[in-house]
Structures are given as C-alpha cells and as structure tokens.
Amino acid sequence: MNVAQKIIAIMGAFYVLIGGAISIVFLFTFWGTPGGLGFLAIPMLFVILGMAFIIGALIPEFKKNSIKKHGDAYKAKIYGYVENTSYRVNGRFPINVKVHYFDKKGIEREAVLPAGMSKGSGEYPIGMTMDIYEYRGKYSFDPKSVRDEILPGEAELMDDKPVDPSRIKMTAVSCRSCGASYQAAAGYTGRCPYCGSYQDVGKI
C-alpha cells in the first residue's frame, strides 16, 4: 500500500471501531425502548462508511496482485520520478517511479509505477533494479525487489537518448483523468497535453 491507501485504511478502521463501539453502547442502553433502536442508525452509518474506506484501499492491492499473477515479469531500471498531481499527502504531491525495461521482443519500454512515495524518501534510488509486471497495459511492481543488480544492456536503459522514430508506433489515447483524446507512443509513458497527467500507453 502507498501512503494514501494506508491513510484511507486507517481512517476506515477508526470509523468502524468508533461506530461499532457506540452501536454496542446504544444497543444495550435502548434495548426494549420503543423506537430506541433507531438511535443505531447514526453509529452504523459510521461503520458502513469505514468499511467502504477499507474496501476502497484494498481494491488497488487486489488489482496489483492480479497483474502479478497473470502478467509478464521484467527486470527494470529505475530511471526517474514523476509527481502524481491527482491528490496530495500532507500538502505535497506523492512521487511515482519512472522505469525503463526491455520487453520480450528486446524493445526498450518505459512505465510509470504508482509508488506514491514522499519526496526525498530514498525508497527507490535512481539506477537500481526492480521487478515489475505488465498485464494488458497495466503495471505492478514488487517494492521489496529494489536491489543493486547490473542488467544486460543497462547502459542503453539508463542513457538519456532520443528514441528512434522508426520504432515508435502512435496510437489514440483517452486520458483517464480528464477524458480528453490525444496521440501517444505505444509502449511508453504518455503525458496528457490538456491536464498534464501521466499514464502508461499499451503496446500495439
């Protein structure tokens, strides 16, 4: 879980705990009183809201596990960082990780992984190797796999070079953030020209 998911899960657990405790008190206090059980509506609302928070925090984890289970595994080099401007944590944008890797055809690809780390945390140092998983254009990764490992062709992966135009295939993309349509290179990370958000563009 990233920082935002942990905060949401903790809030959900707090709501469930407080709502459940008050519900038990009200149940014993107003049991047998005409209309007394109606007082349970408010604390039970907290319980339901808390459960919704917890489920909302766990759904992305289930999706990540599904990608790991069904997707292709690759060794990738941590290449840089990208701010996730869709939300803030403690007044700051969380940082996602940009990686480069070779796909099964030996073509260099780029992906942005939703690490959600804090700026300056040093969790994912540039130049380190990590395991990533790709399934139908969606990515997941193992945060515990970050290590100092030299990969074949590492110099090419870390080289800040222009991409060979002959290897680029453009495709139509619909932005997940604002819904706008634009063209982006398949197999690379595209930046929406309208809202500025990043997303991984599926391979053709």
Same-domain check for residues 83 and 7: no
Same-domain check for residues 28 and 85: no
Classify residue 122 by burial, with Cβ atoms within 10 Å: 0-12, 13-18, 19+.
Answer: exposed
Q: What is the value of pTM for the model shown?
A: 0.59
Same-domain check for residues 177 and 100: yes
pLDDT in tens, the chain (204 residues): 666 778 888 999 999 999 999 988 888 887 777 776 677 888 899 999 999 999 988 888 888 888 889 999 999 999 988 888 777 777 788 888 999 999 998 888 989 888 877 776 678 888 899 999 999 888 999 989 999 999 998 888 888 655 555 666 777 888 888 888 887 777 666 777 788 777 777 655
DSSP letter assigned to residue 107 = -
Count: domains in the chain = 2
Same-domain check for residues 13 and 57: yes
Last residue of a domain, one of 68, 95, 119: 68
Same-domain check for residues 117 and 172: yes
CB 170 within 8 A of CB 185: yes
Nearest to 97 by CA among 61, 142, 58: 142
Domain that holds residue 52: 3-68
Same-domain check for residues 97 and 155: yes
Same-domain check for residues 47 and 94: no
